[in-house]
Amino acid sequence: MNRPRLLNDAQVVERVFGHIDARTTDLGESSWREPVGNYRCAERLSAELAVLRHVPVAYCPSLALPEPGSYVARTAAGTPLLAVRGEDAKVRVFRNACRHRGAEIAAGTGCRKAFACRYHGWTYGLDGSLRRVPHEHGFPGLDISVRGLVEVESVERGGLVYVTQRQPPFPGCELDVVPELLPPRYRLLGCTEDELPVNWKIFAEGFLEGYHIRSTHSQTFYPRQYDNLNVIERFGRNNRVTFPYRAIEKLRDVDRRQHSADGVVTYVYHLFPNVVIATFPNRIVMAVLEPLAVDRTRTVTYNLSDRPDDEEGRETLRRDGDFVSAGTREDREMVCGIQRSLASEANDHFEFGRFESAIVHFHACLHEAVNWVRPSHA
């Protein structure tokens, strides 16, 4: 079976030059009308959460679990999960619930040799096995060999830890089409969490088109980038959207075989359904969009960099981070405004045009997945 291949850097640069010279951009085959009701309906959100549980979703970077005992505990698609790197260096992901009375056994991030439930002290090894039950004689017939933490399917690939919470998996989400997105030379700068009063799909859509660059980012991204000039590629149910910088012009006189995307484009990878990974000069940002309600989303954002951890490197990251943050604030203002406008009932659908084909692909795949989980797989 032929797998879709993304363009290499040189091919991307050549396509961008073609668009600059012709004043064009990549166009989709058709537009898409998405009913506004799909952003406001609790039943629809419930089906979308079921989709997130049947898809291999990037949970965290491998760098967040650097050594045995490292763990990341958070809620994903409404499910408390715990990812742990074992003594054998393998990452395992468990449902974050003690097998005694269901208390969560870990929170946040850290590193432990074992996990002891704070409620009654039942203790689990890094492999999830139940190791100790205080006053075990009070539980006649308890077989500790079958009362370990409940594991969910996970795989570590290309610098990411993926989790599939429920079986069977939604077809067409194979991970072998996803390139390595977090190279091992990068280091993890940190992770932040934030809540926004916006539907998760509205937030995701903001990453997937450059049609808004000039009007939304007139003083931030637009002076460095182009308005409505993108290379858009599909790989499986995922997208890659290329946002070129004006600095790409310096490659005009460089041998095509030496063309590199470093510093001249931002790649935005949308890993279906709810993860975005964006490359910037000196850093990579991974954002997981966790739906909390029809009008509320938690973002879990990991920042990574390949800059040296010295004074010059830190100053570069601070300066570049300020630039990215300024543009991000503008995007958030827009998506929050869209969420507020839903109450106006001015629109019964949103219109996504041929410039916005990555969003069209996203909604087409999500529509198919929602129909798949209703009702037999939810």
d(CA 129, CA 308): 39
Domain membership flag for residue 179: no
Domain membership flag for residue 4: no
Nearest to 111 by CA among 67, 149, 163: 67
- pLDDT above 90 covers a percentage of the chain that reads 87
Supply φ then ψ for residue 233, to 5 degrees.
Answer: -130, 145
Residues 349 and 227 in one domain: yes
Domain membership flag for residue 119: yes
45-59, 261-275, 309-323: least confident range:
309-323
Domain membership flag for residue 169: no
CA distances from 334 to 33, 239, 279, 331 (A): 20, 22, 22, 5
Q: Which residue has the higher pLDDT, 73 or 376?
A: 73
Residues 51 and 102 in one domain: no
Whether 205 has a pLDDT exceeding 60, the answer reads yes
Supply φ then ψ for residue 178, to 5 degrees.
Answer: -90, 125
Nearest to 330 by CA among 228, 223, 208, 218: 218
Residue that is written with structure tokens 């091919």 in the block? 11
Residues 107 and 243 in one domain: no
Whether 37 has a pLDDT exceeding 50, the answer reads yes
Question: Containing domain of residue 121, as a range?
Answer: 57-164
Identify the pLDDT of residue 321: 83
Helices (H) and strands (E) in the chain, counts: 6, 19
82-97 pLDDT per residue, tens: 999 999 999 999 999 9
Domain end residue (candidates: 164, 198, 219): 164
Residues 316 and 232 in one domain: yes
Residues 137 and 204 in one domain: no
Residues 330 and 209 in one domain: yes
Identify the pLDDT of residue 1: 41
Please report how many Cα atoms fall inside a 13 Å half-sphere around the Cα of residue 284, on the Cβ side: 23
Fill in the DSSP letter of residue 41.
-
By three-state DSSP, how is residue 304 classified? strand
Domain membership flag for residue 117: yes
Listing DSSP states for 135-180 in one string gives TGGGSTT--GGG-SPPEEEEEEETTEEEEE-SSSPPTT--GGGSPP
Residues 189 and 236 in one domain: yes
* Whole-model pTM over 0.75: yes
Residues 38 and 98 in one domain: no
Whether 377 has a pLDDT exceeding 80, the answer reads no
Domain membership flag for residue 347: yes
The domain total for the chain is 2
Residues 238 and 189 in one domain: yes
Confidence of residue 294 (pLDDT cuts 50, 70, 90): very high
Residues 193 and 329 in one domain: yes
Give the mean model confidence (pLDDT) for residues 320-331.
88
Domain membership flag for residue 274: yes
Give the mean model confidence (pLDDT) for residues 63-79.
97
- Residue 101's domain is classified under what CATH number? 2.102.10.10
Residues 252 and 365 in one domain: yes
* Residues whose CB is less than 8 angstroms from the CB of residue 247 and which lie 6 or more positions away in sequence, other chains included: 224, 263, 264
Residues 200 and 349 in one domain: yes
Nearest to 236 by CA among 154, 175, 167, 160: 175
